Amino acid sequence: MGTGLKFSTSFHLQTDGQSERTIQTLEDMLRACVLQLKGSWDTHLPLMEFAYNNNYQSSIGMAPYEALYGRPCRTPVCWNEVGERKLVGPELVQITTNNIKLIRENLRKAQDRQKSYADKRRRNLEFQVGDQVFLKLSPWRGVIRFGRKEPVQILDRKEQVLRNKTIPLIKVLWRHHGAEEATWEPEYQMKKRYPILFS
């Protein structure tokens, strides 16, 4: 099909957020189980895994267990399929092929649906001459800032009292950062590292 699921939105906000949604679902299931059955959450993990793998998933149109094994899971509560005949040979291959086609089609529909949700929030970006932009996106780690981090201005001063010691602090505005990202720094450290700021 030529498409792939994206499991992370850290550096690509247009992805479907599948990991975040799955984690939220598992958190909700664990919370409900711990409230109902009491005890530590880690003792309920196998039960949660079983419940999640046997839950209907709209993206594939069936439960993950059924997608993997080609039949619904038999639990102690439901033994009605014990007597079914075993499939072998070309019949098994045909059923498996049909299941794969069904899953592929359901995944394509889910991806189209997720793409339409992402397209609703997508905005066209406009750039001006002189703007710094990435020509190629790659999985960067952390926040990228252009230029060196240097203090630009002292915005405020205060003193912090710790037991029997008073430490003078200054609120520093940094280059390439907004005022909301200004930080409180010890004045003596800033005088030592950036004496030009105090002249």
**pLDDT digit string, tens, across residues 55-97:** 888 778 888 888 888 888 776 544 444 455 555 567 767 777 8
Q: Is residue 98 part of a domain?
A: yes
Q: How far is CA 155 from CA 31, 74, 166, 171, 179, in A?
A: 45, 67, 20, 5, 9
From 121, 137, 160, give the residue that closes a domain.
Answer: 121
CA of residue 108 relative to chain centroid, distance: 21
Q: Does the structure show a pLDDT above 60 at 121?
A: yes
Q: How far is CA 36 from CA 90, 105, 109, 188, in A?
A: 47, 38, 36, 55
Overall pTM surpassing 0.75 (yes/no)? no
In angstroms, the CA 199 to CA 190 distance is: 12
Mean pLDDT within 130-143: 70
- Residue 98 sits in the same domain as residue 162: no
**Predicted pLDDT of residue 80:** 42
- Residue 159 sits in the same domain as residue 99: no
- Residue 58 sits in the same domain as residue 103: yes
Six token digits for residue 31: 């919370």
The full DSSP string for 147-182 is: S---EEEEEEEEEEEETTEEEEEEEEEETTS-GGG-
Q: Is residue 37 part of a domain?
A: yes
- Residue 101 sits in the same domain as residue 31: yes
Q: Is residue 92 part of a domain?
A: yes
**pLDDT digit string, tens, across residues 3-48:** 555 555 455 554 556 777 777 887 887 777 777 777 777 777 777 7
Q: Is residue 190 part of a domain?
A: yes
- Residue 41 sits in the same domain as residue 109: yes
**Predicted pLDDT of residue 79:** 41
In angstroms, the CA 125 to CA 82 distance is: 58
Q: Is residue 39 part of a domain?
A: yes
- Residue 180 sits in the same domain as residue 88: no
Structural domain count, the chain:
2
From 102, 121, 140, give the residue that closes a domain.
Answer: 121
Q: Is residue 132 part of a domain?
A: no
Closest CA relative to residue 143, chosen from 177, 102, 106, 188: 177
Q: Domain range for residue 61? A: 18-121
More confident residue, 107 or 166: 166
- Residue 33 sits in the same domain as residue 109: yes
How many other CB atoms are found less than 10 A from the CB of residue 26? Answer: 15
In angstroms, the CA 132 to CA 65 distance is: 48
Q: Is residue 140 part of a domain?
A: no
How many other CB atoms are found less than 10 A from the CB of residue 111? Answer: 17
- Residue 86 sits in the same domain as residue 176: no
CATH number for the domain harbouring residue 162: 2.40.50
Q: Is residue 174 part of a domain?
A: yes
- Residue 160 sits in the same domain as residue 106: no
In angstroms, the CA 184 to CA 173 distance is: 9
CA of residue 76 relative to chain centroid, distance: 35
Closest CA relative to residue 33, chosen from 18, 46, 19, 20: 46
- Residue 90 sits in the same domain as residue 163: no
